[in-house]
Structure 1
Amino acid sequence: MITETGNPENEENKVSLDESQNNSEQNHHHDDIDYEAEIEALPEENPIESLSLDQILDELEKIVNLKDAGSHSRKFQQLRDAANLHIHDEIEEKKHQYTEEGNDEANFSYQHPKASRLSALVNIYKEKMDDFHKKQEEEHSKNLAERHDIIERLKNLYTNTEAGTNLFKAIREIKEAWSNAGQVAKSEFKNLNNNYFHHLKMFNEMLDLNKEYLEQEYSHNLEKRNHIIDRAKELLNEPLVQKALNELQYLHKLWKEEAEPVAEEFREKTWEEFKDISQKIHERKSELFANLEKDQEANLAKKTEIIEELKKLASPSQNVNHNYWQNAIKTVENLRLEFLKTGSVPKKVSNQTWTDFKQNLRAFNTAKNSFYKNLKDSQIKNLETKLALIKTAQDNMLSEDWETIVPLFKKLQEDWKHVGHVPRSQANKVWDEFREACNTFFKNFRDKNNATTDNWKDNFKNKRALLDQLKTISNEEGSIEKIEQIKNQWNAIGKVPKDKLGINTEFNKTLRDKLKLNKINEFDLNEENLTENQLTDKARKIKNQIADLEAEVVKLDNNISFFSNASRENPLLKDTYQKLDDKKEQLESLKQTLHNIITSNDN
């Protein structure tokens, strides 16, 4: 908005001379105290450097979503530069960790997970800036036409004035319209402003020292001055110093633009009163700086405490294990977030505090990486030990020298328990091989042993009794527990004669019907008489399906987290949430099935 209201040229008549003198006097007063410049130099309450990367990205997104986003370009650029600095520092940290582990820096490659979001926000903002400039040009053109129209009204006021026209009211409306008119292009401003004041001068000359008009003008402006002074007095008691200083700046702007001129006897008096009040408010800046210094000292103490805690975690005083480092990693991440969230510290120690923090964070990562490097060497030795146990088990799994080999396998199993962890990529493989060898031996042992000891006919009688008991159970209270007891008793009974194997199928069918009657989501029973190895294979396949589903659930959750409005009401996420619910339902069903297989296998 055009705010210049003083006539740039010397005027010959009394009204123009008074305004010129008053403007000159006003400029003289404001040379003493430049409130605007000093207030603008005050420190920010929430400096950008105190924000975390996520907070900065959230602030950028808020600006992008504003209707007048283009008018916040300076703030956006500051936040963008801060975000780039965060990303650069974190990439450098990753590079340091990479080289600390003995890798060649030339092979380092890392894509920061937040870089794509920052790039997207910057590109969207560029498009909004283009629209903003286009609309601004249209607005400037519109405002230029409006100001030309105001100048024409002013010109007609002293060239074609109709009888009975209230000049005071008319000129007041013109001035108010000029003050409220919007901005124009800088290239148009000077000539437009000079043109306006030229015709204002001609109007004043036309008045020919109209005393009535001048007195009304003075009275009107004096009333505005008194309102400004009264508001300034109220600011003396404003508890928020920064708010008081900001409003004081606005009052000085209002004084210059709308409260000039006044009668000579009130000029110096009102200005001195306003200036004294301003000085008192201005002196309250010391409170602001004192509070800021106090907050910065508190922040320094907090950040120093975090740095000391990092030192302790990086140099533990006792022997540590995997659990220690896993817990320490979580603690360090919380400390890092707390450090970044904590506000600014005194400028003289700011750089050193940040350097100490990064160095101790790097020292922790170095110590952690060193531990896991040594742990990896230990796991390789454990793998070699377990492979030797597997070889022994496989060499003896078909032996029928029960007296010698049974104790051997028990010792192999005991030794296996005491061997430490192996590399994760090999853990399932070596365990499956060892278990298969043990299961093969003990199954052969049970088969040979049971052939001479089981009373198959008695087993058939016992199973027939359980089957008859199962058939009598109805949908009543406690029926689920009864069914489970019968199932466990059935599994504890040994084999039956080959010509009686049909009882197993009959039992499974009856059990399934009873479970359906009691609305139990039960695992399909072993109707086909699957062997133990076949059940194990089926369980392994289900485990793989569970792992795949869990990965898909994590991926969908991560995709949702990128949206600032991630509620289920968001139409963009409706299908994603439906897909996520379906995956979770499948996951729970598979876990139940796996549990039932394991339970059935154990029995």
Structure 2
Amino acid sequence: METLEIRNRALEEYREKLTWSDLKALVNELKKKLKADDIQSVKEEVLTINKVFKNKYDALLDKKKEVFLSEGGNEIDFHYKLPIKSDFDNLYANYKDRVKKYHQKLKETYSKNYKKKLEVIEGIKQLVGTEESMGTTFKKFKELQDQWKSVGLVSRDKYENLWRTYRHHVEIFYDFLHLNSDLRDKDFQHNLEKKKKIIELARGLTNEKDAVVAFRELQKLHMIWKEDTGPVSKDHREAVWEEFSALSKEINDRHKKLLKGMHLLYEENIQKCEDIIQEVDNISANPPSSHKQWEKVLKQLDEYHESFKSIGPLPVGKARKIWDKFKVAKKKVYSLKNDYHKSQRVFQRENLDRKKSLLKRVEAIKDSEEWEKTTEEIKAIQKEWKTIGHAPRKDSDKIWEAFKTACNHYFERLHSKSDRERLEIYRQTLENKKTILKELQEYKSADEKDAILPYLKSVLMKWIVEGASHNKSEDIQTEFEKAVTIYLESAKMTTEEADTINYSMKVAIWTNANKKSEIKREKTILSRQLKDLDFQTGRLEGNMMLFKPSKGSDTLVSFKKNLEESKLKIEVLKDKIKLLSRAIRALEKQFK
């Protein structure tokens, strides 16, 4: 026999299956269930279908409404209904109509059965005191008992009183039957045998593994004991009842123990439900303040919903209340979400007005030739635009494209002007460098390095200060390097002096190619080296002050030599860093 737990599990699996169905499939499933002859046999399935359909349709409405509102629509103007909703409503109305008719018919049946049972009681009353033979009277009594059993159920509110009346008149009849002991004893024995069979069936139920099945079967046995068996002799009456009662107690105790365990499970499941409801309430207490946060919360709400459904059985009397409490908590969150979107629509309209104002300002100055002032103003407007936030979706892309087009129009004009100016700077720089190269090539002097070295340094500095020239100026750079090399080779310079000129040439090449990043990187490296060398020199000077060797000591000579070399290196590094700084300033000035 199917237990409550198995039935609940089957219903849960059925509900889970339905959650994967679309609205059309749910309508078809309802049609299928309504083909049943016994409408009560599909009650739980139909209610489950209705619940799943309602949840899915409400979720669809929420999404449609959210899109409608996000596009600037008014909540009061939102109307949406799919034809399939009418199809489902018509089918469900048909189900409710059939259920109503079923209950009306059941009520009529109960009323007819009640009247028939009253007629049976009246018939038994008529048998008492009759003057016909006891055999005939007893036969009529048995026929009336059979009628009682065959009549069927009556309503619960009338059953107990009706049963007592029936038993009362049956006992009166047996007292009357006492006059004929043979018939009475025969009936007592028959009833005893039936009661013993019931006891054996009850004994078998004590071995039934499923306590719920055993309990339900026991209720049937009690009904048979009550309805289908009459009294037994006083000698056996107490014994058979005590035996049946003892077996009933054993079965009932098992059932109570199970119910106690179920009660603990129910309490645990109720607490789980309450915990989830509290989590949902916490969302309402601290609602999100951004669209992304709301998306995350709504996803979390779906997870809470799934967790809530998977918790397990709840007591029948509380299940609906707990579920309703959860729905109220969810509804509050959705209400807050709608309030948020309403407020966002107000903000978005304000944002749209602000963006329109900024667009108007850019449109007014996009053709201006006050380049410096206009550039700063448009950059400030762009910065302000980024702080504004979302506008209504249907207007957002359109106004952004217009704003972007206006800004691009101005900056394309600015870049075109800058390109022309840059080319002019390159042209002028190239002319200046041609003059410097010509002067270098025409320079006449003695081969003494004392004259050539300062001149080369001066020429290289002029070349660097001019800054970068166009890529096409590589030829002039090559010519310049050749000219410097000729003088470098003709003058008999020391290695250090040649290194100085070569390093200046290296910086000149970087500058001509506008490699400011490489120049800065070189300056950083040399500055670090200078710092380290300063530290080492200071330590060397300190050590010399502590050291007191004899005059002319080799150690003292070594100290002095190292110190002089360090100081010389420091001066070389400082000169290089100054040169690099001049190159950086030249490029920054050239392209400010």
Structure richer in helix, relative to its length: 2
TM over 0.5: no
TM-score (norm 1): 0.40
User: Greater Rg, structure 1 or structure 2?
Assistant: 2
TM-score (norm 2): 0.41
**Bigger relative CO (Cα 8 Å, ≥ 6 apart):** 1
